[in-house]
Structure 1
Amino acid sequence: MNNPVSFISGNLHHAKDYISDLINLVQVYQETFTEPGQAVLDEIEAIELAYLVEDLPKMIDSMKLGTDRIRDIMQSLRNYSRTDGFEKNPANIHEGIETTLMILSHRLKANSNRPAIKIIKKYGELPNIECYPGQLNQVFMNLIANAIDALEESNFGKTYKQIESNPNAITISTSVDSSIEKMTNPTVNIRIADNGIGMSKHIKEKLFSPFFTTKAEGKGTGLGLPICHDIVTKKHRGSLECFSSPGMGTEFAIVIPARSIPIQA
């Protein structure tokens, strides 16, 4: 898709220049021939020339914005679906999170039932970390999508105005622990929290159990969180924990080493 999108985007750039030249020519004609005749005046009125001159450049700009948006989405999909090899590679965690947010943007937008879900970013200064970027993107996708699901569940029975007074929000925080005891191998901390209804201790204890799900039949397999746990703990030698209580929202905390740790046989 990138080739036709780039073709359209490039031609829109030239089209805008050509349209600007034609508009300038029309203005020169109007200034030079102040009495063009009734036939010309009738055509000017029929095509609403003043509105056309004002709106056409805006239309080209919006089309250019659309092609840029498509290109950004394609880049995000390519980054998200990248195939990890057998070795870990340095990666920017924030880029992975931003890619995930772009892919999920349609679920974050306002709709007839609720305002937009607020995304609060509290990004720290992170080094590039040695990891499997595609697999970590899968973790981010699952945790943020689950947070959206939890917020939508918490909205049940509430009016638009009630939700607006206490907006749905997802807070994403990142930091690095480079204290003395972590000097040889600092860890990166990633927290994804929602202000939904939270969960009971009973449910929280089963979250990482295969096939356990609180979602309606057909909407969840119960494998997302166990896979996330496996990616973080086994593939990256880190930890994935959940902190939640009824009425207090839910937070998932990921801790992974910034540098690669050999996996013992």
Structure 2
Amino acid sequence: AGVAHEINNPVTFIYGNLTPASQYIEGLLYLLTLYQQHYPQPAAEIQAEREAIDIDFLVEDLPKILSSMKMGANRIREIVLSLRNFSRLDEAEIKPVDIHEGLDNTLLILQSRFKGKPGQPEIQLIKEYGPLPKVECYAGQINQVFMNILSNAIDALEEAKGERRRARGENSSSLPIPSCPLPWIRIRTEVGKISSSGLPSGNQDWVTIRIADNGPGMPQTVKERLFDPFFTTKPVGQGTGLGLSISYQIVVEKHGGRLWCESAPGQGTEFFIEIPIFGHRA
């Protein structure tokens, strides 16, 4: 939150000055147009400089540059706001929280990882948000759970693409993979707990957040150790094995909820997060 505040101050200064700067430049460009209308045959030196800087292109492109700068500054402001909302470090007590706002802030931070790259299609995001009441929880901690699970889902989808390439003996990342299903992540929210049949139980005192992907899935041996501290299937240096273990502590111990996973090889993975609506004091 402190870092976000330090970033936000200079960005606000830049963003606030872009509008008057655009107005000043618009006035100067209009003045330039008047000069061209009233003095169509300038001195040779002016004409040479006009051609050197390509004045017609400059007049057309400068407003576009300013507009893109304003969009970029606004984007930074949105990310900073999401970081502040995501961390919520100033909220040490349990209080009513909008779960959908926490999910959306997390997705905004991860937005760049959903975008396509050469040889890798964009990850499709499917949001199936049901009507939820505000939930009494530690907002920053629950957002961290969303971040850990969504990051793992993206990692799994990216790794699946790499494994398919290695299996086909392809080294170039620019080559498309034929017959490869488009990757997706689905987030579904609903009131109620999940019964043994996999359907909502009708218990109105709980909310369930389900995060699924169509990645490679995992065998039972991996699933059994998924929440063990320091357990990871990622290469050395690419994972600590603590993300899901910490998530389990947050959901189960801090909030009195449930966190589990359903997965099988070739069948994708789905995480279930259940939290009591009216809070739990650990």
TM-score (norm 1): 0.90
Structure 1 window deviating more from structure 2 (154-163 vs 249-258): it is 154-163
What is the SS of the residue equivalent to 1:218?
coil
Q: Does 1:52 find its partner at 2:58?
A: yes
- Amino acid corresponding to residue 146 of structure 1 in structure 2: N
* Counterpart position of 2:230: 211
Deviations 1:105-142 (A, max 9, x none): 23222223412222221122222211100100110111
Instruction: Give the aligned partner of residue 39 of structure 2.
Output: 33
Distance 2:273 2:161 in 1: 27
Give distance in 1, aligned partners of 2:209 and 2:201: 20
| Secondary structure of residue in 2 paired with 1:182 | coil
Residue in 1 aligned with 2:185?
170
Instruction: List aligned pairs for 1:101-250, cutoff 5 A.
Output: 101-156=107-162, 157-158=164-165, 160-162=175-177, 165-177=180-192, 182-183=203-204, 185=205, 187-250=206-269
TM-superposition CA deviations, 1:37-80 (whole Å, max 9, x none): 44433332222111111100000011111111111121122222
8 Å Cα contact 1:155-1:163 kept in structure 2: no
CA distance in 2, matches of 1:215, 1:31: 67
Alpha-carbon spacing, 1:164–1:55, altered in 2? closer, same or farther (3 Å): farther
5+ residue gaps, structure 2, are 1-6, 166-172, 194-199
Q: Which runs of 4+ in 1 moved over 6 A?
A: none
- After alignment, is 48-57 or 211-220 more displaced? 211-220
How far, CA to CA, are the matches of 1:223 and 1:124 in structure 2?
A: 30
Q: Residue 270 of structure 2: SS of its match in structure 1?
A: strand
The 2-side partners of 1:209 and 1:82 are apart by: 27
Equivalences for residues 42-121 of structure 1 within 5 A: 42-83=48-89, 85=91, 87-121=93-127
CA contact (8 A) 1:188 1:257 kept: yes
Moved more, 82-91 or 219-228: 82-91
Give the Å deviation of 1:164. 8.4
The alignment covers a number of residue pairs equal to 261
Match of 1:8 among 1, 10, 14: 14
**Structure 2: distance between partners of 1:181 and 1:224:** 30
Root mean square deviation, CA, Å: 2.2
Report the CA distance shift for 1:225/1:163 in structure 2 as closer, same or farther (over 3 A).
farther
Secondary structure in structure 1 of the residue aligned to 2:176: helix
- Can you list the C-alpha shifts for 1:134-179, whole angstroms capped at 9, x where unaligned? 1001101110111011111211233642278522211111122399
Helix, strand or coil at the partner of 1:255: strand
Letter of the aligned partner of 1:32 in structure 2? H
Question: 1:114–1:164: 8 Å Cα contact kept in structure 2?
Answer: no
Q: Please give the alpha-carbon distance, in whole angstroms, between the structure 1 residues aligned to 2:123 and 2:41.
A: 57
**8 Å contact kept, 2:223–2:263:** yes
**Equivalent AA in structure 2 for residue 95 of structure 1:** E
